[in-house]
Amino acid sequence: MIKVLIATRNKDKLKEIKEIAESQFEIFSFLDFPDIGEVIEDGKTLRENAVKKAITGWENTHIITIGDDTGLEVFVLNGMPGIYSSRYSGGNYADNRKKLLYNMAGVQDRRARFVTIAALVLGKNAVKTFEGKVKGIITQKERGKNTFGYDPIFLPDGYTKTFGEMTLKEKNKISHRYQAFKQVFKYLRGVAQPG
């Protein structure tokens, strides 16, 4: 099996990625390596943050590492919360949603998109990035309690369910993270050898 380290301690994200990965990948995370310090996400772009996480993982373990960063970009808010999505309110998932809905009160143009950048590090100076995007709108109120983050207030284009109303399997057929990681795992199948 191909060993892959996911550069995260977020159990919700990890659950999604394990669902996307196929059986030939043995998935580890930063939870398996408690000595790896917290990675400060101080990049100016999603790509910079993803690459930083991936390099940190590889340098500490020499295991093929994937780091990712996701942003929810709201058009009328000039792309915010963007790279600050996970820490938008300074609180938890619910606080972030509450702040965004407050900032969107009375706004007609509710277009938004999720963007995920996944950075793959196969070795020293061997970095490749992949991107996934999904367009939609911010709902007027929360709908659904499945999945996590902004999912209960994001309705993808062409669907009647928010991500929060979808099952993980339903979400993973179309999500930004699915698109990015599907590309990563396909690429890895072509270049990596088990071991």
Q: Are 139 and 162 in contact (CB under 8 A)?
A: yes
What does the alpha-carbon distance between residue 71 and residue 79 come to, in Å, rounded to a whole number? 9
CA 103/CA 106 separation, integer angstroms: 9
* Alpha-helix residue ranges (DSSP H) falling in 11-92: 11-20, 46-61
Distance of CA 103 to the CA centre of its chain: 23
Query: Among the options 69, 95, 109, 157, which is catalytic?
Result: 69
DSSP secondary structure letters along 82-126:
ETTGGGSSSS-HHHHHHHHHHHTTT-S--EEEEEEEEEEEEETTE
Report which of residues 172 and 194 the model is more confident about: 172
Residues 1-20, mean pLDDT to the nearest whole number: 93
The rounded percent of the chain whose pLDDT value lies above 90 is: 88
Q: Is the dihedral of CA 142, 148, 150, 153 positive or negative?
A: negative
Q: Distance between CA 91 and CA 108 in Å, rounded? A: 26
- Respond yes or no: is residue 151 known to be catalytic: no
Residue 195 has pLDDT above 50, yes or no: no
Local confidence band at 24 (pLDDT 50, 70, 90 cut-offs): confident
- Which residue's entry shows tokens 């600050």? 84
* Domain count across the chain: 1
What tokens does 141 get? 């109120």
| pLDDT computed for residue 192 by the predictor | 63
Going by pLDDT thresholds of 50, 70 and 90, the confidence category of residue 9 is very high
What is the residue range of 164's domain? Answer: 2-191
Rounded Cα distance between 100 and 32, Å, is 33
State the Cα–Cα distance between residues 75 and 60, nearest whole angstrom. 38
At residue 193, does pLDDT exceed 60?
no
Which carries the bigger pLDDT value, residue 168 or residue 80?
A: 80
> Considering the entire predicted model, what is its pTM?
0.92
Predicted local confidence at residue 159, as pLDDT = 98
Kindly report the CATH number assigned to the domain that includes residue 184: 3.90.950.10
What's the rounded Cα separation, in Å, for the pair 59 and 35?
12
Average pLDDT, the chain: 94
Q: pLDDT (tens digit, 9 = 90+) per residue, 102-134?
A: 999 999 999 999 999 999 999 888 899 999 999
